[in-house]
Amino acid sequence: MEAALLEPVKKGTHQLDYLFQPRSIAIIGASQKELSIGNVIIKNLVHYGYTGNIYPINPKMDEIRGIKAYPSIADVPGEIDLAHVIIPSKMVPQAIEECGKKGIKAVIINSAGFSEMGEEGIALQKEFLAIAKEYGIRIFGPNCQGIINTDPEYRAYCDFTFTFPKPGHISIAALSGGVGAFIMQSLFDLEIGMRLYASNGNACDVSIPDVIEYYGEDEQTKAIILYTEGLSNPLEFMEVAKKVTKKKPILAMKAGRTEEGAKAAASHTGSLAGVDISTELIFEKTGILAFNNEEELCQVAMAFATQPFPKGNRVGIITNTGGPAVIATDELVNSGLQLPPLSDRAKAILHETMLPEATIGNPIDVVATGGGKHYRSAMDVLMEEDTIDSIFINFVTAPFTDTNEVARNIVEVSQLRKKPIVCNFMTNMSLERFQETAKILKDGGVPCYSFPTTAAKALGALYRYGKTRSREIGLPKEFSDINSKVAEISLMQAKKEGLSYLPADRVYDILAAYGIPVAKWWLANDTEEAVNAAGNIGYPVVLKAESATLVHKSDKGGVIINLKTAEEVRAAAEKMKDSFGAKGLKLLVQQFLPGGKELIAGVSTKAGLGHLVMFGLGGIYVEVLKDVVFKIAPVTEVEAGEMLSSIKAAKLLEGVRGEKGINKEKVIDIIQRISKLVTDFPEIKEMDMNPIIALGDQVFAVDARIKID
C-alpha cells in the first residue's frame, strides 16, 4: 500500500509544523512483532486514517503491516517530515545523523535509556542533541509517547496509546504519558473532541513551553490542558504562559503539595514557603487555571470547548425542579458568582409566557410540566437582561414532557453564543428516549453534567478565566526615593565579614534607605547608652537583646516591652545581661507601639524562580496561624493589593467591632519596596519583617532580619 504523495510541510512555516503537521512519517525501528512500539505506531497511524505517507524502516523486512519497508532512511524516495525512532539508545545518535542527512526536521524519540538512566544515558542524550542541532532537527522526547493531530487534513496518530479521539478544540500537553493518556481517555469518555496532543517525556529539546506556545497559535485550539511535574525553566515557562493565557485558557493540574520541604528554617518566611508552592504561584501569576482534581479539570474542559466567556459574575438560573438549583446556587456563589434579581421588564414577559405555577425570579422555576417554549422564553429573557452574564440550566427529563423539544430549544439559544450556558442534565441514560435528548444537547455543543455541583464548577471556571484574561497586574513601580547605595555597601560589608545574617543596625539602615518605615531605634553598647537612647526616642520604649546568634528573641526573654522610665530601662538591661551574658550583647532600644495589628512581610528564594514575597498576619503566632500568601517577585501594586485581600484575616485589616482599620496603602507600598529591594539585590536569600505594626495611619516595622548568600 502506498498513499498518494502529499506536498511536504511548506518551508518557512513554524518549526513545530514538521512535528504536528507531518505529510510523511518514517518509523525507524518498525517491527513486525504485534506487541512492539515499532508495530503499534504504524497500526495506530493506519487505524486513525493518517493522510500522509508512512515509511517503515527496517533492514530485514520488505513490508510491515502491508506497507513497503525500506532498509534505511536514505533509501526512502520522497521527502520525510517526521521520523519516529524506536531503537536501542546506543544506536540513536547514528539514526539522528541519518535523519539529518535526509533533511528530516522533526524526530520523535520513543526509545528510553537516556537522561532518566544516569551518566551513560545523559552522555548519549547530549551526543544526539548535538547532532540534531547541527542539522536543525527538533527532537521530541526521548522516552516519550509522541504527538497526535486529529485534524482531518492529517489525522496524525504518532503515538502508541489506545484512545482514538474525535476531532475537537481541546489540546493536551503532558510531560507524563500516563497522565496525558488518561486525560485524553477522560475527554473521550465525556465525548469531548480533542485537537492536538503532546507528551514529551524527557523533553530534552521541544519543551512544554514550546508546545504551549504552538497551541496558543493554533486557531482551532480553544483551550489547553496542561500537566507538568515541576518546571525545568520556570522563567521561560512564565513568559510563554502569560502570553498564551491572554489568548486562550490553560487548565492545569496543581502540583503536589507536600510538607516535606518545610524544614524549620530560622526565618519565618523560609519555613512558611518551604511547602512547594512555586508551581501554584507561577500558575497564578500567569493566569493559568489550576485544579486539584483531574476529573473536575476534564469536566470543566467540556464547557471551555464550546462556550464563550462571561463578561461578569452574574448568573441567571432556569430550572424545572427545586433542590438541584439550591445545590447549584451554593457552588455558584462559592465560585464568586451572584444571582441578581430580574428586571420588571423580564418579570412582565415571564408572567405572560410561563405556566401559572412557575416561580418568576432568579432562579426561574419553569416547573416539571414546563416544555420547550417555557425554557425558550426563560432563556430569551435572560439573554436580553443586561444584568445577567451567564445561564445555568437545570433540566430533569420529566417523562410527561417532550424532552427533545426542550433540548432543541436549549441548543438553538446556546448556538447564538451570546452568553455561556451550562446544563445540569438529570436523566436515565439507559432509556432510548432520553439518550436521544442527550444527543441533541451534546451535538448542539451544550455542556451537560450529571451533577449540579459539577455544572456549577464549570460555569465558575468560565467566569474565573474571563476575569483572569481581563486582569492587568501592571508593571513593578519605580521609586524615586530609594537610596540603593546604602544597601549595596551594607551587603558588601557583611559578605566581606562572612556573615549570613546582617546585624540589626544594618538591617534597619537598609530598610530606611528603601523607604520602609521602621520604629525609632538605637543600638546601644551598654546600659547607660540604652538609658540615654530611651530618653531621646521618648518613653515608653522596648528593649531587645541583639547578638549574632539570637534568632527568636522573645522566646528567651530577649524582648521587654513597655518600659516607662530610665529605671525600668536600666533594670531591663541588667536582666538581659544576666540572661545572655554581657559579651557581644548589644541592646536595641525601640519606640514602643502598643495596640496595633501585627503583620508580617518577607521574602524567600526558590531555585530557578528567584524571590517569593510573602505577606500575612504576623506576630509570634505566625507559624501556628499560617495566614500568609506568596507572590513571585517583582510584585506590582495590583498584586500587593491582592495579597492583602486574599489572606483569611483580610476582614481584620478593615477593622472589626469598632476598631480602626489599618492604612492599606502604606502596607501595599511596603510590600512593593521589599520586592524592589530583593530584585535589586538577588544575594538576599531570606528576609522578614515580623511584626510590622499597623495602627490606623501608622505602619512601622519593629523587627526585621536579612539573610544573605
Cα three-residue angle 618-623-625, rounded to 5 degrees: 70
Q: Name 55's bridge partners.
A: 26
Q: Which of residues 682-701 bind Mg ion (CB under 5 A)?
A: 690
Count of residues engaged in binding Mg ion, rule: CB under 5 A: 2
Residue number with CB closer to Mg ion (141 or 596): 596
- Indicate the residue among 38 and 596 with the shorter CB distance to ligand ADP: 596
CB of 555 to ligand ADP, least distance (A): 6
Under 8 Å between Cβ of 508 and 521: yes
CB 268 within 8 A of CB 688: yes
CB of 417 to Mg ion, least distance (A): 55
Q: How far apart are CA 637 and CA 219, in angstroms?
A: 34
**From the CB of 618, what's the least distance to Mg ion, in Å?**
8
The smaller minimum CB distance to Mg ion, of residues 196 and 576, is found at 576
Nearest approach, Cβ of residue 342 and Mg ion (Å): 54
619 binds, among ligand ADP, Mg ion, none (CB under 5 to 8 A by kind): ligand ADP
Residue 410 in grid coordinates = 436549549
Nearer to ligand ADP, 101 or 552 (CB): 552
Of 606 and 705, nearer to Mg ion (C-beta) is 705
The residue assigned the cell 414577559 is 349
Question: What is the smallest separation between the CB atom of 199 and Mg ion, expressed in angstroms?
Answer: 48
**Cis amide leading into 540 (omega within 30):** yes
Site string for Mg ion, 340-379 (x = CB under 5 A): ----------------------------------------
Binding-site partner at residue 620 among Mg ion, ligand ADP, none, CB < 5 to 8 Å by type = ligand ADP
Indicate the residue among 150 and 690 with the shorter CB distance to Mg ion: 690
d(CA 649, CA 627): 7
Read off the DSSP letter of residue 392: E
DSSP string computed for 238-282: HHHHHHHHHHS-EEEEPPP--STT----SSHHHHHT-S--HHHHH
The SS3 call for residue 178 is: helix
Work out the widest C-alpha separation in the chain, in whole angstroms. 102
519 makes contact, choosing from ligand ADP, Mg ion, none, with CB < 5 to 8 Å by partner type, with: ligand ADP
Which strand ranges, in their side-by-side order, compose the sheet holding 521-524? 521-524, 586-591, 541-546, 559-563
As a residue count, the chain comes to 709
Q: Does 703 bind Mg ion (CB under 5 A)?
A: yes
Least distance in angstroms from the C-beta of 651 to ligand ADP: 21
- Picked from Mg ion, ligand ADP, none, the partner binding residue 593 (CB below 5 to 8 A depending on kind) is ligand ADP
What does the alpha-carbon distance between residue 73 and residue 230 come to, in Å, rounded to a whole number? 36
Residue with smaller CB distance to Mg ion, 600 or 609: 600
Q: Which does 669 bind (CB under 5 to 8 A by kind): Mg ion, ligand ADP, none?
A: none
As measured in angstroms, the least distance from the Cβ of 173 to ligand ADP is 45
Residues that bind ligand ADP (CB under 6 A): 519, 542, 544, 552-554, 559, 561, 590-594, 598, 619-620, 690-691, 693, 702-703
End-to-end, the C-alpha distance of the chain in Å comes to 66
Shortest reach from residue 701's CB to Mg ion, in Å? 10
Cα angle, residue 156 at apex, residues 241 and 129 outer, rounded to 5° = 60
* Strands 628-632 vs 146-149: parallel, antiparallel or unpaired: unpaired
**Least distance to ligand ADP from the beta carbon of 393, Å?**
53
Smaller CB separation from ligand ADP, 678 or 702:
702
| 328 burial via Cβ count (<10 Å: 0-12, 13-18, 19+) | buried
> Whose Cβ is closer to ligand ADP: residue 82's or residue 694's?
694
Residue nearest Mg ion, CB atom distance: 703
Closer to ligand ADP by Cβ: residue 377 or 604? 604
**CB of residue 518 to Mg ion, shortest distance in Å:** 13
CB of residue 488 to ligand ADP, shortest distance in Å:
26
Per-residue binding letters, 642-681, with Mg ion (x by CB under 5 A): ----------------------------------------
Alpha carbon distances (Å) from 286 to 237, 469, 653: 9, 10, 27
Q: How far apart are CA 684 and CA 77, in angstroms?
A: 61
What is the rounded CA–CA span in Å between residue 252 and residue 297?
8
Q: Which is nearer to ligand ADP, 441 or 524 (CB)?
A: 524
CB of 703 to Mg ion, least distance (A): 4
Q: Rounded to whole angstroms, how far apart are CA atoms 271 and 257? A: 14
Beta carbon nearer to ligand ADP, 313 or 591: 591
Mind spelling out the 3-state secondary structure of 187-230?
HHHCCCCEEEEEECCCCCCCCHHHHHHHHHHCCCCCEEEEECCC
Contact residues for Mg ion, defined by CB under 5 A: 690, 703
